[in-house]
Every structure is written in C-alpha cells, then in structure tokens.
Structure 1
Amino acid sequence: MAQIALKIDVDTLRGTREGVPTLVRLLENAKARATFLFSLGPDHTGWALRRALRPGFLKKVARTSVLEHYGLKTLLYGVLLPGPDIGCRAATEMRAVRDAGFECGIHTWDHVRWQDNVRQRGRDWTLAQMQKSYTRFLEIFGAAPTTHGAAGWQMNDYAFAQLDAWQMAYASDGRGHGPYRPTLDGQPLAQVQLPTTLPTFDERLGVNGADASEVVRQLLALTEPDQTNHATAHVFTLHAELEGQKLAPFFAELLAGWRAQGHALVALADYYATLKLDDLPLYPISWGEIPGRAGELILQP
C-alpha cells in the first residue's frame, strides 16, 4: 500500500469560495486528508491571456475548456475587471478549511504575477512577494504556515532559500519522482521537497480525446499496486477550480478508486512524517518540461 498525498492548489477567488467547500465535503466523505495551498492576494487570472503566444498554451486552453472551468468573470480579472483581493474576501472560507482539520499552506500572493515572473526576478522582488503572502497567512490563520507549494511549479534560488529562512521543514514546489533535499551552489538546504509525482487532471484531459472518465482510469492505472515500482508514496496535485467544480464527480470517483486500491490518502504533513530524513538524496534545482503542460517548471533530475 502506498500513501497518496493530496495537494490542492487554490488559484482564484471563485476557486476559494466555490471549489474549496466542495473539496472539503468530498474529502470528508472519503475520509481523506489533504493539504490546501492558498493564493492570498489579488486575483489577476486575466493576465494569463498574455501567455497566448507561448508554445503549447493555446493547445492546452482548447483541451481543458478554461472558460468553462474558470468562468468569464474570473478570466476578466486584471483585464476588464479589477483583481479582487482573495485573502480579504475569502478569509472565512480559508479558516473553515483549517477548522475542518485540513493542513493549510501558502500557494502564492499573486498567482499569475508569480508564475510568469519569478524565474527571471531578483532577490528583492522575490522576497517582497513571499513576505506579502506570509503576512497575510498570519493575519488569516493566526499562525505561521507549515508548508508551501509554488504557483505553476515556478521558483528561483531566492525563493528556495527563503523557505529555509521561514524554517519550513517540507514543501512541494516542483515535479519529480520522490522526496529529496535541494541544493544551492552545491550546498544542501534544510527543507525537504515533496514533488508532485503523478500527472495532473488537466495534463491528461483531452489528450488523444481522453474525457474525464478516461483520465480517472489513466490515473488509477498509474497507482495500481503492481505499477508503483516500489514507491511508498505519490503526490497528486489538484485544483480547486477544476476538481472542486465541474470535475468534482470525477475526483470523487478517483478518491473511491484509490481507496479500493488500498492507498492511504494523506496530507503533505503526514507524508513528511514517514520519511527517513537521513536517507534522502540531494538534487540541484533543475528545470524541465512535463507532457501536457506548456513551458518549463521545477523538475527533479
């Protein structure tokens, strides 16, 4: 039996208000634990339209029906409508997640601004964005965050170093095949990275005509006990805007399938607690591409 750590990225105001409560109900019904990672500042989802010229972006938009999942109003935030402050307008919904017993952490301050800029930005810009999210998290929850999961799996060296400065024991900021300690300039950081190991729903949806039911079948095939290659855990990233809304019935089916396979559905904290920290490998911070997703992201070698 493997653990499957469920990591929930919450990108938008709509996802926080509508998708998150739905996911809490689905998880409680499945007796599953999970980690919710919140976007805590302005919702500028409409700025993502600037990615239209990037290779593969328009193809992904067409496959995953972005308008259908996110809604027209959300796609206009930052373009024709002002970007609402998610942390101010949805703090009640965020605290309800904590009160239901789920782990909460930082996703980002401004999702699109971070995802589109952090790789090229310097220390001052990076730390200013991170400090805004940290301060807002404290205001909402009254306690320091225990974990972090980067928007779009985008980071830079200063961001990784700041996680150590915050004394975060673990985070999930990239993609990969298993837990590890990242290195900067050849020196290991204190944090443990728990990379996303399974493909996301939107990376498979529409590929070769795959509908939502087919994606569920594909994901369950990857976690069959004889297909795990002796892995003791997986990390699956889902989105409040997708699995918490239109894809909710299919996520419920996926949860039931994982339960039937005998897997424990856990939070990042639970996964981290099982690790033998002295045995973890070291890897430099690296970039690469993932099938079904446009552009490069943090990728474990």
Structure 2
Amino acid sequence: MEKPVIALKVDVDTYAGTRDGVPRLLDILKEAGVRATFYFSMGPDNSGKAIRRVFTRKGFLRKMLRGRAPSAFGLPTMLYGTLLPPPMIGSSFPYILKSVEHMGHEVGIHCWDHVKWHDLLPWMPKKTVAMEIGRACARFEDIFGRRTRTTAAPGWTITADSLEIQDALFLSYSSDARGTSPFYPVLGGRRFTTLQIPTTLPVMDEILGENGITAENINDYYLSLLSPGLNVHTIQAEREGKAMAWLFADLIGRLKDSGATFITLEEAADEFGRNAPDAPLSMGEMPGVIGNVAIQGLDVPPPELFP
C-alpha cells in the first residue's frame, strides 16, 4: 500500500511568531531531519485589528478561546495596530528569515499585512491588491536577493484579482486553498495558470476542543486522517512553534515512525502537480472554520460586492 507523503506548510503571521516560533520550529525540524515550506508575513503586524471579527464573524470569540489564542499569540500581539503600534516583521528579522532558507527549507510570501488581506480582500480594488503583493515581493527580494517562487494567501482568502496578479508573477505554484490534490483553479468561468497545492488536513485551531478532540488525542486524530499519496498539513508558527511545540514534535515523530515521508511544497508540485487537472475554486464555508475560505471543487459565482 502506498505510504502517506507529508508536505508541511508553515504560516508565519506575526512579529512574535517570527521572533519566537520560527526558531523553535527550526529546532524541531532539524532534530527530526525534516524540511518544510515557510510562508512569511513581510509587513506590519496589525493583529490587534482582528478584534473586529468578534462583530463580523459568528463564533470567532469562541474559537479564539477554545484554541487558546491568548497563550498562543500573547497580549502584545493582540494589541498591535490598536493600542500598540504595529511592528514591521520582515525588516525586523531578516536574519531569521534567511536562516530558514540556510537550513534547507523552502521560503515564500504569505502577505504584506495579514489582517488587512484576510479581512478586507473582497473589497479591495485590484490596484490595492497589487500593491499589497508588490510590497511583500519587494521586501522578500531585499532579504533574499531574488524573487519569490511561491505565495500562500492569509486565511485561504482569494479573489479573481489576487489569482490574476499571482499569474502575472509567474510563480512556480501557490498554496491558497483547502482541498484534496494539486489543481489549476477555475473561478467565475476563468482558468488561472498558477498551480495550486491545497491544504488537505484540518488546522489545529479548527479542531482542538471540538468533538472530543484534546491535546492528548489530537495527534491520533491526525494519523487517522492520513491518506496514501500527498497530504498537506498547515501549521502556525504562533501555535505549533510556541505553546503547542511539544504536540508538533510528537506528531512529527509519530509520522516518521508510521513510515510517512516528508517533502517540501516545491517537491510536491514537481511530483504530484504534473498533469494536474483544472478544478473550480470559490470561497465557501468549511466545518470548524470561522469565515469563508477558498475551497477546491466549489463552483459558486463571486458575490456582487458593489451592485
């Protein structure tokens, strides 16, 4: 029987996640001999502005408490952009970002301003979307001395404009969606040319504390979800790199013991992306997720935001 192949996708959303979570994850991955793909937020940490989701997204506060957000993110992070000025992420820690690549991991762009993209993308004019991506690309080039080959949208939030701008960057692939296997996205009847490598497994904060899943059995649950072939697991530097680092280290060890192999998303694109089919991609609801996310196979017309 074909063994599971695991591609680890690391989303780095915040200043503290970059400073504290990334080095801890690098230690865990080095000890396990595993490589991953890291996506970095490059601009301001406006995490405190996410408080507006309490009023716009039903269940957001409950999810934050259930997922232990205060311990994962820390009080300063939850005040950045409101009571505290937003620190710049990429320019504050270029040595940390470069150390990730130096240790053999793949690096890419998550965003410029994580909260702005996640909360406001559907209402952004195309010029603003291009500016957000352009700023992140410029900071990435300043740090790494080359253009990025991959991006991953915050909160799996996309629009036709964001996909079009990705195509213009001639990326090797992106990882903006939830789904089952690599595909080329079709949105609103239009096919886009950047290969998508979707996240296939649930994220920790979506399932921890739900349906009897606890810190003691969550890794059993993850192992039960593995399928032969490619499995893409997204982790957060703020969670698996900090308060839940012990759980992540345990998961990696158990995956290795089970015979699973690990690859980067770039390797997944090469190995599993050949002859990838076209598939619908639209924003929609998923169990355990607060707010809409981009879902492979979902074919619905985009909303009329400006009738």
CA distance in 2, matches of 1:276, 1:150: 19
Alignment match, 1:205: 208
For residues 51-90 of structure 1, give each alpha carbon's deviation from its aligned partner in whole angstroms, at most 9, with x where no partner exists: 0021121120120111111000111101100000001111
Q: In structure 2, what residue type is equivalent to 1:218?
A: Y
Q: In structure 2, what residue type is equivalent to 1:190?
A: T
Alignment match, 1:190: 193
Misfit runs of 4+, over 4 Å:
none
Q: How far apart are residue 213 of structure 1 and its match?
A: 2.2
Q: How far apart are residue 216 of structure 1 and its match?
A: 1.1
Alignment match, 1:291: 287
CA distance in 1, matches of 2:84, 2:201: 35
- Structure 2 gaps of 5+ residues are 298-307
> Which residue, out of 228, 252, 257, partners 1:255?
252
CA distance in 1, matches of 2:88, 2:172: 29
Alignment match, 1:34: 36
CA distance in 2, matches of 1:164, 1:216: 36
Alignment match, 2:181: 178
Q: In structure 2, what residue type is equivalent to 1:221?
A: S
Q: How far apart are residue 276 of structure 1 and its match?
A: 5.2
Alignment match, 2:303: none
- The share of aligned pairs that are identical, in percent, is 39
Q: In structure 1, what residue type is equivalent to 2:138?
A: T
CA distance in 1, matches of 2:278, 2:123: 24
> Which residue, out of 241, 254, 259, partners 2:238?
241
Q: How far apart are residue 175 of structure 1 and its match?
A: 0.4
Do 1:169 and 1:190's aligned partners in 2 also have CA atoms closer than 8 Å? Answer: no
Q: In structure 1, what residue type is equivalent to 2:65?
A: A
> Which residue, out of 135, 148, 152, partners 1:149?
152
Q: How far apart are residue 184 of structure 1 and its match?
A: 4.3
For residues 75-118 of structure 1, give each alpha carbon's deviation from its aligned partner in whole angstroms, at most 9, with x where no partner exists: 11011000000011111111111111110000000000110011
CA distance in 2, matches of 1:208, 1:221: 15
CA distance in 2, matches of 1:25, 1:42: 26
Q: How far apart are residue 281 of structure 1 and its match?
A: 1.6
Do 2:156 and 2:293's aligned partners in 1 also have CA atoms closer than 8 Å? Answer: yes
- With the length of structure 1 as denominator, give the TM-score of the two structures: 0.95
- With the length of structure 2 as denominator, give the TM-score of the two structures: 0.93
Q: How far apart are residue 120 of structure 1 and its match?
A: 2.3
Q: CA RMSD in A?
A: 1.2
Alignment match, 1:79: 82
CA distance in 1, matches of 2:273, 2:296: 19
CA distance in 1, matches of 2:82, 2:222: 36
> Which residue, out of 92, 95, 100, partners 1:92?
95
Do 1:105 and 1:145's aligned partners in 2 also have CA atoms closer than 8 Å? Answer: yes
Alignment match, 1:120: 123
Do 2:230 and 2:272's aligned partners in 1 also have CA atoms closer than 8 Å? Answer: no
Count of aligned pairs: 294
For residues 21-42 of structure 1, give each alpha carbon's deviation from its aligned partner in whole angstroms, at most 9, with x where no partner exists: 1101111111111000000000
Q: In structure 2, what residue type is equivalent to 1:28?
A: K
Q: How far apart are residue 188 of structure 1 and its match?
A: 2.7
Alignment match, 2:170: 167
Do 1:174 and 1:298's aligned partners in 2 also have CA atoms closer than 8 Å? Answer: yes
CA distance in 1, matches of 2:138, 2:31: 33
